[in-house]
Chain A
Amino acid sequence: MIAGESKLAAEVLGARAPQVGEVPSASGRETFVINLGPQHPATHGVLRVKLEMDGEYVVRAEPVCGYIHRMHEKMGENRTYAQFLPNTSRIDYLSAMTYTHAFVGAVERGLKLQVPPRAEYIRVITSELNRISSHLVWWGAFLLDLGGFTPLLYAFDDRELILDLLEGICGARLTYCYYRIGGLYNDVDDTFIEGTRAFIAHFRPRLKMYRQLVTENVIFRKRLLGIGPISAEMCRRYGATGPVIRGSGVAYDVRRLEPYSVYPQFDFEIPTFSESDSMARYLVRMEEMAQSLRIIEQALDKLPAGPVMAEKVPRVLKLPAGDYCYAVEAARGRFMVRLVSDNKEIPYRVKLRTPCLSNLSLYEEASRGMLLPDALALMGSLDLVIPDIDR
């Protein structure tokens, strides 16, 4: 443990935080270790957190990762670009569209491919639909963490509509491989466009209902207001992005700051809340769903005609030697693919920068001195997807 950390723990607990495995002295506080996970209802996957507890207070939370490590980066170095494409949708299974977008974007950058505008518009529409479905899963699961079971099924009800729409255009419901290098797998039909418009009309009143039923619930507000503050400075140190940093009052959004695809053509806001507690992160995501609806609406209105695949996509994809990056704003934050090519069919190095790993790494510091239920509410507000951490 570094000196700064134990000083902070001393401020929080009024005593020196013991190290894991340390035998407490007769005068010191007595702590015990709880293994939260890898199979625990609150971790939503195989994350294990070694919690050192003093009664119900968390002295130190040590995340143990790697239970679902699948070597995605190494796999990328053993197969061609097209073969690696399906892997990208299995990193964060809830936000597969945006992840595929980053990968095809990086390859297209390397090949200097011009993607037709219609394809880019459809990419934006499907990415934003995917963002809403991802936030809906988080919303239900977060309330499950807080002990409210019912919202989960309402969220899945709405998510089902999105999944049906996406299934209609690409055949998959979760791990889409809809974006292809140079464009899309196929064009959208009228059913999709009308269905998406119908979804927008359906979902706006639902968001309002969620606000009335959940956001304004007194027990819910008491559980979140002022709980789990994460300062902008802490976000900067750990590299936290996405709704976590926007809940700390920093308007960091890749769609606005490093514009990609056709996002600059749309009018949308980056919701930020400066309270930096769990409630702020909750409100950011709720507002983001409304903003995503706005983007989809505009994209549907402006949707140009034309092909959805670039004309001159080479049969054998061989990136010129160099270093190519492409970052996207995924549902959980900044996802970046970095490809290093040495002019072969197989990349020399694939680096995936996933948002959840950074968001998780601040957990140890942020949860110090919290009560167990609050610490779990904080973990829920970070919206962790475990395969995205381990990848």
Chain B
Amino acid sequence: MMNYLSLHSEPLRLVLFLAGLMAFVGLNAAYLVWVERKGAGRFQRRPGPTEAGPAGLLQPIADALKLLSKQLIVPDGVDRTLFRVAPLLMMSPAMISLAVIPWGQSLAARNINLGLLMIFAFGSINVMAIMLGGWSSRNKYAIISAARVVSQNVAYEIPVLLVVITTILVTGTMNLNEIVANQAGPFWKWYIFRWDLNPLAPVTFLIFYICMLAETNRAPFDMAEAESELVAGAYTEYSGMGFGVFFMAEYANILLGCSLATVLFLGGWQSPIGILPGVFWFLIKLYFLVFSVIWVRWTFPRTQFYGLLNLSWKILIPVSLFTLILSSALVKL
């Protein structure tokens, strides 16, 4: 299908892809909520949603309808523009970044050479979105949450970038499609298992995974919306679809983080046994990671804030720096 489209006009292809991505993100955000609730139910010895539709499958639609029909209350005294812009500012970078993710061999909205750089350029915007949302809400809990989000993301941006630089050193390219192409072959060609290029490759993956949890504000690092401390953190004052968009953006960001982990470490669309199309394998790996994120959330209690910062500054950053030096030495040799 893609080859057929690429014969025709490039703008048409792009528009189709962007529409497809939006639908994909929207559908995923809605149904990841269902997966999360159903999964949490199973972890907690209860059935989860069962009422709306078979196995509660219509629950996300019912939720969305409810949120859409609610009024978006803008409290007195808030910065109205920023208050309304913040949820969109959180959603759009994730959407844009997904455009460079290669879903299959020739299935990427934009195959650009600086794909990785672009993702990290946009990746930091959602921090600003939460910060603006918290700040403009004019609520003390929201402001504490905004301050937490900033220091948390500054702390975790560094190890994640060090890890990504290590990967770039090893692959020699920032083009995500080429990074995946370099991992062709059986599964020990994936970067998570390439000890010959980066002796600490699995550790690198682990650091990336932890940072991804922290950057998407997922438990056990959910300082931003620590409900037993800050009610709902930066989202306290949001109602209706304002809250809903924040909620969807959280899942869109998880989706982005997990697809990036799949591309960088798990061989992207490469099939480990050489059968079935690439997009199938990509989605399998992606949803395995997404499931593990949900699993972690319902298993661990929340960390303490200084524990979170200590983990980054005292363990993750030194280890990832060491990995970087080690693999650059190996590249030089």
Query: Which residues of B (295-317) have their CB < 8 Å from a CB of A?
Result: 298-307
Query: Which residues of A (184-243) have their CB < 8 Å from a CB of B?
Result: 217, 219-220, 222-223
A217 to B304, CA, bound (A): 14
Tell me if B228 and A144 are in contact (CB < 8 A). Answer: yes
Q: Contacts A222-B303, A373-B305: A149 and B298 contacting too (C-beta < 8 A)? A: yes
Tell me if B229 and A219 are in contact (CB < 8 A). Answer: no
Smallest Cβ distance from B315 to chain A, in angstroms?
A: 13
- Digitize A77-89: 1 where CB-to-B-CB distance is under 8 Å, 0 elsewhere: 0000000000000
Number of A-B contacts (CB under 8 A): 74
Chain-A contact segment, one of B37-45, B59-67, B166-174, B254-262: B37-45
Pick the contact of A154: B44, B147, B231 (CB < 8 A). B44
Q: Contacts A42-B228, A373-B229, A376-B229: A150 and B302 contacting too (C-beta < 8 A)? A: no
CB-defined contacts of A32 to chain B, threshold 8 Å:
140
A: contact size bracket: 20 to 34
In this complex, the member of A145, A217, A371, A373 whose beta carbon has the largest number of chain B beta carbons within 10 angstroms is A373
Tell me if A219 and B301 are in contact (CB < 8 A). Answer: yes
Smallest Cβ distance from A53 to chain B, in angstroms?
A: 8
Pick the contact of A150: B144, B228, B299, B305 (CB < 8 A). B299
Query: Which residues of B (225-260) have their CB < 8 Å from a CB of A?
Result: 226-229, 231
- Digitize A146-159: 1 where CB-to-B-CB distance is under 8 Å, 0 elsewhere: 11111001100100
Interface assignment of A29: CB less than 8 Å from any CB of chain B = no
Tell me if B229 and A217 are in contact (CB < 8 A). Answer: no
Query: Which residues of A (142-182) have their CB < 8 Å from a CB of B?
Result: 143-150, 153-154, 157
In this complex, the member of A32, A42, A147, A372 whose beta carbon has the largest number of chain B beta carbons within 10 angstroms is A147
Tell me if B301 and A146 are in contact (CB < 8 A). Answer: yes
In this complex, the member of B46, B222, B302, B304 whose beta carbon has the largest number of chain A beta carbons within 10 angstroms is B304
Query: Which residues of A (18-43) have their CB < 8 Å from a CB of B?
Result: 32, 34, 40-42
Tell me if A219 and B44 are in contact (CB < 8 A). Answer: no
CB-defined contacts of B46 to chain A, threshold 8 Å:
153
CB-defined contacts of A373 to chain B, threshold 8 Å:
226, 229, 302, 304-305
CB-defined contacts of A34 to chain B, threshold 8 Å:
140-141
Interface assignment of A56: CB less than 8 Å from any CB of chain B = yes
Interface assignment of A390: CB less than 8 Å from any CB of chain B = no
Query: Which residues of B (97-155) have their CB < 8 Å from a CB of A?
Result: 140-141, 144, 147
A149 to B298, CA, bound (A): 7
CB-defined contacts of B40 to chain A, threshold 8 Å:
149-150
A145 to B227, CA, bound (A): 8
B: contact size bracket: 20 to 34
Q: Contacts A150-B44, A153-B46, A154-B45: A219 and B228 contacting too (C-beta < 8 A)? A: no
Interface assignment of A128: CB less than 8 Å from any CB of chain B = no
Q: Contacts A147-B219, A147-B220, A157-B45: A41 and B227 contacting too (C-beta < 8 A)? A: yes
Tell me if B302 and A148 are in contact (CB < 8 A). Answer: yes
CB-defined contacts of A149 to chain B, threshold 8 Å:
40, 44, 298
A55 to B146, CA, bound (A): 12
Q: Which residue of B lies closest to A32 (CB)?
A: B140
A356 to B307, CA, bound (A): 31
Tell me if B228 and A41 are in contact (CB < 8 A). Answer: yes
Interface assignment of A374: CB less than 8 Å from any CB of chain B = yes
Tell me if A372 and B229 are in contact (CB < 8 A). Answer: yes
Q: Which residue of A lies closest to B43 (CB)?
A: A150
A376 to B228, CA, bound (A): 8
Tell me if B303 and A219 are in contact (CB < 8 A). Answer: yes
Smallest Cβ distance from A51 to chain B, in angstroms?
A: 10
Q: Which residue of A lies closest to B306 (CB)?
A: A371
CB-defined contacts of A56 to chain B, threshold 8 Å:
144, 305
CB-defined contacts of B43 to chain A, threshold 8 Å:
150
Tell me if A220 and B228 are in contact (CB < 8 A). Answer: no
A217 to B307, CA, bound (A): 14
In this complex, the member of B229, B302, B303 whose beta carbon has the largest number of chain A beta carbons within 10 angstroms is B229
Q: Which residue of B lies closest to A373 (CB)?
A: B229
A209 to B144, CA, bound (A): 36
CB-defined contacts of B222 to chain A, threshold 8 Å:
147
CB-defined contacts of B305 to chain A, threshold 8 Å:
56, 371, 373
CB-defined contacts of B44 to chain A, threshold 8 Å:
149-150, 153-154
Tell me if B231 and A40 are in contact (CB < 8 A). Answer: yes
CB-defined contacts of A41 to chain B, threshold 8 Å:
227-228, 231
- On B, residues with C-beta under 8 Å from A are 40, 43-46, 140-141, 144, 147, 219-220, 222, 226-229, 231, 298-307
- On A, residues with C-beta under 8 Å from B are 32, 34, 40-42, 55-56, 143-150, 153-154, 157, 217, 219-220, 222-223, 371-374, 376
Nearest 6 Cβ contacts at the A-B interface: A147-B302, A148-B301, A153-B44, A146-B301, A42-B228, A145-B228
Q: Give me 18 A-to-B residue pairs in the complex whose CB atoms sit less than 8 angstroms apart, sorted by A's number.
A: A34-B140, A41-B231, A55-B147, A56-B305, A143-B301, A147-B219, A147-B301, A150-B298, A153-B44, A153-B45, A217-B301, A219-B301, A219-B302, A219-B303, A222-B304, A223-B304, A371-B304, A372-B144
Further contacts, 8 of them, CB under 8 A, given A40-B231, A56-B305, A376-B229: A145-B228, A147-B228, A147-B302, A150-B43, A157-B45, A223-B307, A372-B229, A373-B226
